[in-house]
Structure 1
């Protein structure tokens, strides 16, 4: 592991030395993640991921490239070549947001499952390669499910994986967005019933894409995805990465009290 960390530091310093402010492209945001993050086609409305709305909290001209896809873990995202394709898109100065954990924890699906040790190795690879390309990796702890204990407090369903991210953030000096903590705090304030409006709990016949209705406390609807994107943007603004300058101080499109009925920002 010392070899990995030494290589990480060397690549980071090399990339910094080779990239001058005059050469650097305007900062962009690339996103790697799972179904809670991905961008959905209109035929799937109201299901949405927070990466779908992140640009709605950014200044005009900001570029967000959301490469998150449902059902993927760090293991399958790498195995399918998705990480390599994201790497091929990276430009020096970009910020790479990385949220996994939900599917890494799925023991019943071996193509996805990565225990915390493998999860750590996979994330370390993502950090190392992002920095080697002159980009700025940011770890994002897995967003909360609507899962409450008997006392009415939300549960940390992926605590072991969030712990790995927090440890890696400290040991590799990688910025961290604690979306797990922020989203749990938010839905704790709302309570189990209040938080229902953010998730895919749909009445029969309410939406063409889900004629039989839906009971899903993992995935977000439009309103919930906007709210989660706002939590990401809020923490991103406080990090020492180029993309922090892209975040708008006021984000009305992410702070809506009612759904717009569209994936648009306005």
Structure 2
């Protein structure tokens, strides 16, 4: 066989090969609404626990979100430094804060929306970009706060600050405050209870023996639903990781809880 013929056959073979996609990681920096929870906290769930259900097998999710953290305390506890040590070129950093930055009771968490909050977000963006990773800002997810038949935003100054920063620094933005509020609104005041933590003592849940009424933190179905919104919006951004978001995401659209933090 001639050398030219051999080269032609090799070229045809290479064209027919389906090379595996390069492995990438999505890192999540956030608070309790995104965090992972142990089985003994069920049904409390964070949307970051379920994001992997929307991704192909080449993507890993590293959830750094922790309850009670604001941008100030997340950075102060060196959690951003840990992300910087792990994150690399081709990765994505999802950044969702605001709930605890608005806390004026636990003042150590507070970050002024036009001051520390903005500069802390900019610092997180810089960390991602310095490693060749893609930052994505996510406005704070809605609470189940109904007034006069409408879902009311609780963190508008922080969301507006994030939107302005995204435009200024040309960072992709998922407007989760807007999109999650629309989702809760569509479910209705009564129907949306299932997305949050509303349980009576008679249910004898080990995690909440006295019952719970919480319009901030999510149940399994709520966390799945928020993960679906994040995945849908992430795909629509058309950044590199968008290609790894599955077109069909049935595990995030369940109407009955699975009873655990798993895709199926």
Same fold (TM over 0.5): yes
Q: How far apart, CA to CA, are the structure 2 residues paired with 1:189 and 1:240?
A: 27
Are 2:69 and 2:109, in contact at CA under 8 Å, matched by a contact in 1?
Answer: yes
What displacement does 1:241 show?
A: 2.2
Look up the match of 2:215.
217
> Within 2, Cα distance between the matches of 1:148 and 1:105?
19
Q: Aligned partners of 1:48 and 1:191: how far apart in 2?
A: 21
RMSD, aligned CA = 1.2
Q: Are the counterparts in 2 of residues 28 and 64 from structure 1 also a CA contact under 8 Å?
A: yes
1:238: how far off? Answer: 1.3
Aligned partner of 2:68 in structure 1 is: 71
Shift of 1:26: 2.7
**SS of the residue aligned with 1:47?**
coil
How far residue 258 of structure 1 moved from its aligned partner, in angstroms, is 1.1
SS at match of 2:147: coil
Q: Helix, strand or coil for the counterpart of 2:187?
A: helix
Gaps of 5+ in 1: 1-23
Matched, 1:261 2:259: yes
Distance in 2 between residues matched to 1:40 and 1:238, nearest whole Å: 28
Partner of 2:147: 149
**What is residue 112 of structure 1 aligned with on the other side?**
109
TM-score of the two chains, using structure 2 as the length reference: 0.90
> Following TM superposition, by how much is the alpha carbon of 1:240 offset from its aligned partner in structure 2, in angstroms?
3.3
- In structure 1, how many angstroms separate the alpha carbons of the residues matched to 2:58 and 2:198? 34
Runs of 4+ displaced beyond 6 Å: none
Q: Which runs of 5+ in 2 are unaligned?
A: 1-20
| Structure 2 residue aligned with 1:97 | 94
Between the aligned partners of 2:122 and 2:156, the Cα distance in structure 1 is: 18
Aligned length: 242
Structure 1 distance, partners of 2:58, 2:64, is: 19
User: What SS is found at the alignment partner of 1:192?
Assistant: coil
| TM-score, normalization by structure 1 | 0.89
- 1:25·1:91 contact (CA, 8 Å) conserved in 2? no
**Aligned position for 1:7:** none
Aligned mates of 1:199, 1:264 — CA distance in 2: 18
CA drift at 1:61: 3.4
Q: Please say if residues 73 and 104 of structure 1, whose CA atoms lie closer than 8 Å, have aligned partners that are also in contact.
A: yes
- 1:230 matched residue in structure 2: 228
- 2:23/2:58 contact within 8 Å kept: no
Matched, 1:169 2:166: yes
* Greater C-alpha radius of gyration: 2
Equivalent position of 1:30 in the other structure: 27
Residue of 19, 25, 42 corresponding to 1:45:
42
**More deviation in 24-33 or 52-61?**
24-33
120-129 or 205-214: bigger deviation:
205-214
CA shift, 1:87, in A, is: 1.0
Give 2:59's aligned residue.
62
1:167-225 alpha-carbon deviations (Å, 9 max, x no partner): 01111000001111110001111111111110011121422111111000000010100
**Alpha-carbon deviation of 1:27?**
2.3
State the partner residue of 1:136: 134
Residue of structure 1 aligned with 2:122, choices 121, 124, 131: 124
